[in-house]
Amino acid sequence: MTDTITIRRPDDWHVHLRDGEMLQLVAPYTARQFARAIVMPNLVPPVTTVEQASAYRDRIVAAAGEGFTPLMTCYLTDKASGDELARGHAERVWVAAKLYPAGATTNSDSGVTDIRNIWAALERMQAIGMPLLVHGEVTSHDVDVFDREAVFIDRVLASLVHDFPDLKVVFEHITTKQAAQFVADAPANVGATITPQHLMLNRNALFQGGLRPHAYCLPVVKREEHRLAVRAAAVSGNPKFFLGTDSAPHVVGAKESSCGCAGLFNAPFAIEAYAQVFDEDGALDRLEAFASLNGPAFYGLPINDELMTLVRGGEIVPDRIGEVVPYGAGSAFGWRIQD
Ligand code: OTD
Ligand code: ZN
Ligand code: ZN
């Protein structure tokens, strides 16, 4: 049994770092583990201009400290401009752009109401090699919340990938067997991020002995068969699948509420949680590819020089970090980072 594993320092290809006080609280946790992170633009107001993104990047660097590189994203709206996207990409502010179907998740009200509205922007992104990051859920009220991802593939994503054969597309935080299959079958320009919670929880976690707000995120966790399919994809070694925590902190009062916010704060013990999953599946030798190699390869970025060593035996996750309940509070993941 392996008790120690050394990997290239990982990156987080999907994280919410927030702003203001929350940014100050959470950024050091991401920076402690990850060399780089793709930072989601769903602030209020959303990050839609190059200037906003550049100023936000400065605030993140100040909060995270030395040795961490935030990779910024543009929030696509119905009015997204190809010129603005190309300018931000050329100025190396924007690494990618994010598609939120309007209303699909937290702070997505300014998102895209119809994919046809951003057709010209997507053509431009394809031409300049700028990846499109997709929150893949339909929002129509007639579609069951547990089916929204699978229906999105049929109604939107399949034709998008077909119509833009050279556009790099990341299907973010996949949660279903349909998504895992779609990405596995798609050409090499389509990848996916996977969160720790979607590898560890099925939808029973939402109702275990009562209503569990700290297991609630979007896309919502699914049936066991989906968890197993997503997990098989993550540990498979297939380069299309890579680490994206979707760490999305909310203060405890906003979670434990009659209308609780979606999102889990998993940044403090993220790599430890992934290590536990890969260990349980006998795939520790593939953790490095998932956490540290596949993402950079997809984005066309170099891998990190530094190494990270993980050792068996986790510490207890605290009940609170500031005013936020971290993912796994009160329990321990099987691994810890060696100092
Ligand atoms: N999901 N919460 C949030 C975003 C994500 O869809 C997501 O990427 C958030 O709070 O920003 C969540 O549950
Ligand atoms: Zn999302
Ligand atoms: Zn997210």
Question: Do the domain assignments include residue 170?
Answer: yes
Answer yes or no: are the C-beta atoms of 242 and 235 closer than 8 Å. Answer: no
pLDDT on residue 1? 77
Calpha distance 188→159 (Å, rounded): 16
The residue whose CA has the least distance to atom 1 of ligand 1 is 218
Ligand 1 atom at minimum distance from 261 CA = 10
pLDDT band at 339 (very low <50, low <70, confident <90, very high): confident
DSSP helix/strand/coil, 336:
strand
**CA 112–ligand 3 middle distance (angstroms):** 16
**Beta 69-75 vs 94-99: how paired, if at all?**
parallel
Ligand 1 atom at minimum distance from 42 CA = 11
The residue whose CA has the least distance to atom 12 of ligand 1 is 263
Structural domain harbouring 295: 11-303
In this predicted structure, the answer to whether residue 93 has a pLDDT above a threshold of 90 is yes
Question: Do the domain assignments include residue 313?
Answer: no
The CB of 108 under 6 Å from ligand 1? The reply is no
Question: Do the domain assignments include residue 315?
Answer: no
Answer yes or no: are the C-beta atoms of 46 and 84 closer than 8 Å. Answer: no
Tokens representing 308? 């990270």
pLDDT band at 28 (very low <50, low <70, confident <90, very high): very high
CATH code (residue 37): 3.20.20.140
The CB of 97 under 6 Å from ligand 1? The reply is no
User: Looking at 19, 246, 281, 319, which residue is catalytic?
Assistant: 246
Question: Do the domain assignments include residue 107?
Answer: yes
Element (H, E) at 163: helix 158-163
User: What pairs with residue 39 in β-bridges?
Assistant: 15, 72
Question: Do the domain assignments include residue 76?
Answer: yes
Calpha distance 319→322 (Å, rounded): 10
Q: Which ligand is nearest to the CA of 12?
A: 3
Say which residue the tokens 């935080």 belong to: 173
Question: Do the domain assignments include residue 323?
Answer: no
pTM > 0.95: yes or no? yes
**CA 2–ligand 3 middle distance (angstroms):** 32
Question: Do the domain assignments include residue 96?
Answer: yes
Q: Tally the domains of the chain.
A: 1
The CB of 246 under 6 Å from ligand 1? The reply is yes
Tell me the average pLDDT across 291-320. 98
Answer yes or no: are the C-beta atoms of 74 and 88 closer than 8 Å. Answer: yes
- Told to judge if 246 belongs to the known catalytic residues of this protein, a careful annotator would answer yes
pLDDT band at 185 (very low <50, low <70, confident <90, very high): very high
Ligand 1 atom at minimum distance from 107 CA = 11
Question: Do the domain assignments include residue 214?
Answer: yes
The answer for residues whose C-beta is within 8 angstroms of residue 185's C-beta and 6 or more apart is: none
The CB of 263 under 6 Å from ligand 1? The reply is yes
The DSSP output letter for 153 is: I
**CA 177–ligand 3 middle distance (angstroms):** 19
Calpha distance 170→186 (Å, rounded): 11
106-123 residue pLDDT tens: 888 899 999 999 999 999
